């Protein structure tokens, strides 16, 4: 081909490239992280999130939501109890995903991410493949493999692993326990369940990476994340739905002082009842021991028979011992005005002694479980019941 012919072709090819290039750029999808605020119902207390993939050519937006489970699945409740929950990644239109949040007044916002076209395209393709029925199921763990950690991990993978190093070396001092109790506190029974049922595993300070199991914490972390060239990862934040319910508590309730005064008041009442109303004390002790024994049995089963590792090695077993159930026959005898069997006295001492061990453990630096509130509440009462119901006092 002659040089003049090449020059004659160069201009049309240049114009064709200029026309095609914007289309190629626009062909890459737009990636965002959608964060749903906590709701008023107990199972909505921890918020939610998803990844949205928007096709700018068609205007369609698909929500990739890792928070689905099937209660009709064979063995669902057994798997739930044993800690073998299976969740699903589901792809659905963003408008459909947002509809129920609009009905309940839960706020929703989206963070659009500054990903390269290749990274955005790869992430969209990976999500679409993982949402296929044969790939969608995953093993759920409340703290380490949930709707939010799955979103976090997908973004980190899209960035070539650049997100985790930015978040792993920093901590705000939050723990699995403090975050769970904080967000559950509007439902007191739920907060008590978390506080009582979590072992020392839940009390290590979390990095920003680990605390991203909470969707709102992940949103905050993404706001600070940077790309390799120093630009912010989040290019734009938009509000999709207004938040019309009470906001999440800023911190977990402080209960040590109320627990101390409540524990002392119950101990004084028990000692007074031992002299003035011994049968009433026995009746109250029966209720208390039944509750302690049943709670302790559940905690022991969580430790010995389930995969709920956050509840393993729970020091509250020393305060809510299953041995309390063995005290019931002796308490029933005292209620009827009879002398209990000789072993009742030793069981009283054993139960109170185990509660004292729980208190002693608080002085050891290598056992970090944050259950001081339960020690302050229950140890004085166990001691007072031992003094008040001991047949030889």
What CATH number does residue 82 fall under? 3.90.1720.10
Residue 15 within a domain: no
Q: Are residues 177 and 297 in the same domain?
A: no
Residue 266 within a domain: yes
Q: 241, 275, 298: which is the final residue of a domain?
A: 241
Q: Are strands 108-113 and 30-36 parallel, antiparallel or unpaired?
A: antiparallel
Q: Are residues 71 and 194 in the same domain?
A: yes
Q: Are residues 187 and 326 in the same domain?
A: no
Gyration radius from the chain CA atoms = 29
Range of the structural domain that residue 335 is part of: 256-389
Q: Residue 11: what pLDDT?
A: 46
Cα distance between residue 148 and residue 217, in whole Å = 9
Instruction: Say how many domains are in the chain.
Output: 2
Residue 310 within a domain: yes
CB 248 within 8 A of CB 216: yes
Q: Residue 3: what pLDDT?
A: 39
Q: 241, 265, 298: which is the final residue of a domain?
A: 241
Residue 16 within a domain: no
CA 166 to chain centre: 22
Q: Residue 393: what pLDDT?
A: 58
Q: Are residues 194 and 108 in the same domain?
A: yes
CB 49 within 8 A of CB 33: yes
In the three-class reduction of DSSP (H, G, I as helix; E, B as strand; rest coil), residue 138 is classed as strand
Q: Residue 138: what pLDDT?
A: 96
**pLDDT profile of the chain (393 residues), mean per 10:** 46 43 60 96 91 90 94 85 92 95 95 96 97 95 96 97 92 94 94 96 95 97 95 97 93 94 97 95 97 97 96 97 96 92 94 96 86 97 94 63
Residue 7 within a domain: no
Write a three-state SS string for 266-286: HHHHHHHHHHHCHHHHHHHHH
How many secondary structure helices (H) and strands (E) does the chain include?
14, 7
Residue 22 within a domain: no
Q: Are residues 236 and 279 in the same domain?
A: no
Q: Residue 392: what pLDDT?
A: 67
Residue 11 within a domain: no
Q: Are residues 178 and 291 in the same domain?
A: no
Closest CA to 203 of 372, 374, 364, 369: 369
Cα distance between residue 131 and residue 341, in whole Å = 63
DSSP annotation of 362 reads T
Q: Are residues 267 and 148 in the same domain?
A: no
Q: Are residues 305 and 216 in the same domain?
A: no
- Measured in residues, the chain has a length of 393
Q: Residue 16: what pLDDT?
A: 42
Q: Residue 24: what pLDDT?
A: 43
Q: Residue 335: what pLDDT?
A: 93
Q: Are residues 72 and 152 in the same domain?
A: yes
Q: Are residues 207 and 80 in the same domain?
A: yes
Q: Residue 72: what pLDDT?
A: 81
Q: Are residues 232 and 263 in the same domain?
A: no
Rounded to two decimals, the pTM is 0.88
Q: Residue 71: what pLDDT?
A: 83
Residue 12 within a domain: no
């Amino acid at each position: 081909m002659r040089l003049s012919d090449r020059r004659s072709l160069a201009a049309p090819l240049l114009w064709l490239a200029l026309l095609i290039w914007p289309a190629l750029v626009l062909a890459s999808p737009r990636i965002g992280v959608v964060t749903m605020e906590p709701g008023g119902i107990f199972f909505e207390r921890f918020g939610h999130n998803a990844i949205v993939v928007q096709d700018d050519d068609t205007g369609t937006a698909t929500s990739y939501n890792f928070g689905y489970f099937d209660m009709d699945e064979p063995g669902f409740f057994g798997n739930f109890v044993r800690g073998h929950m299976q969740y699903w990644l589901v792809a659905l239109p963003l408008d459909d995903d947002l509809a129920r949040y609009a009905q309940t007044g839960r706020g929703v916002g989206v963070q659009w991410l500054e990903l390269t076209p290749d990274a955005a395209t790869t992430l969209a393709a990976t999500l679409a493949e993982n949402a296929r029925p044969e790939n969608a199921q995953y093993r759920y763990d409340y703290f380490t493999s949930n709707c939010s950690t799955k979103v976090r991990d997908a973004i980190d993978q899209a960035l070539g692993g650049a997100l985790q190093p930015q978040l792993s070396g920093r901590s705000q001092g939050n723990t699995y326990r403090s975050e769970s109790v904080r967000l559950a506190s509007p439902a007191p029974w739920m907060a008590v369940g978390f506080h009582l049922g979590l072992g020392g595993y839940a009390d290590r300070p979390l990095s920003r990476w680990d605390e991203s199991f909470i969707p709102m914490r992940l949103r905050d972390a993404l706001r600070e994340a940077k790309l390799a060239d120093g630009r912010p990862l989040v290019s734009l934040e938009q509000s999709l739905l207004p938040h019309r319910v009470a906001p999440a508590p800023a911190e977990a309730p402080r209960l040590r002082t109320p627990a101390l005064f409540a524990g002392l008041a119950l101990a004084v009442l028990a000692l007074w009842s031992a002299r003035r109303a011994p049968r009433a004390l026995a009746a109250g002790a029966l209720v208390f021991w039944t509750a302690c024994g049943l709670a302790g049995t559940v905690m022991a089963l969580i430790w010995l028979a389930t995969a709920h590792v956050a509840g393993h090695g729970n020091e509250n077993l020393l305060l809510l011992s299953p041995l309390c159930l063995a005290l019931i026959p002796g308490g029933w005898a005292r209620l009827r005005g009879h002398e209990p069997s000789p072993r009742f006295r030793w069981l009283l001492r054993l139960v109170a002694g185990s509660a004292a061990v729980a208190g002693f453990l608080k002085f050891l630096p290598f056992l970090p479980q944050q259950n001081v509130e339960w020690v302050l509440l229950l140890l004085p009462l166990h001691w007072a019941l031992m003094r008040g119901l001991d047949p030889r006092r």
